[in-house]
Structure 1
Amino acid sequence: MIWKFLTSAIKPVTDLVDDLYTSDEERLVLKNELAKIESKMGLKLLDYEKQLLSAQSNIIVAEAQDGSWLQKSWRPIITMLVFLALVVAGSFSWLGTPLALQAWTLLQIGLGVMWWVVALRK
């Protein structure tokens, strides 16, 4: 997305260079300089994305290594509890439309996996 923004920001400049009433040699020099600027911006963008991915990776590793089982697993637990609440609300017709059978299947699979994870941790 950022790459598209950068190229779309530079394209009007390159089009302007084409429209200038200069010699072919001057146009080529200007286009060369613009290409150098674009490549430098691209390298900086790649470096930024590399640092961002590294920071995200470090956060995930830190979350996985520290704390108790509950602290590591609260997101899937909350997700399964939300699915359970939706299924209960659907069975009492509290929702506007009935839940699909896939919601039941997803809840069964999720609770089964959570049960196995808890059983293996003991």
Structure 2
Amino acid sequence: MFSAILGPLIGGLFAVIDKAIEDKDEAAKIKARLQEMVLTGQMKEIESAAAIIVAEAQSESWIARSWRPLLMLLFGVIIANNYLVVPLFGTPSADIPPDMWDLLKLGVGGYVLGRSVEKGVKVWKENE
């Protein structure tokens, strides 16, 4: 089951790498390393994370399916408040600890990865 998801997952990662890494040689090296990891079975952690995301996506509970996007939306509201509302209206800003920025970066990466997995799940269901 998860090998059907791993293909679109890797494709999604490659797309993120192409957008995030300006140096094409460096991007090619990273993609080659990912392919090597897939071939040698070192992607078990990512595959496990994908399994969790698939289970959440297939859940009948709205909150289980939506908590990741809702969290990203909350981060977006906080950032919009601090960098749009506060300068325009002089309202109090929310402190953003460095750990929250780290979580946001991780969350955005996970969200992109999660969206790739969701697309992979749709393909997998169509091929069942």
TM-score > 0.5 by shorter chain:
no
**TM-score, length-scaled by structure 1:** 0.32
Q: RCO greater where, 1 or 2, for CA within 8 Å and sep 6 or more?
A: 2
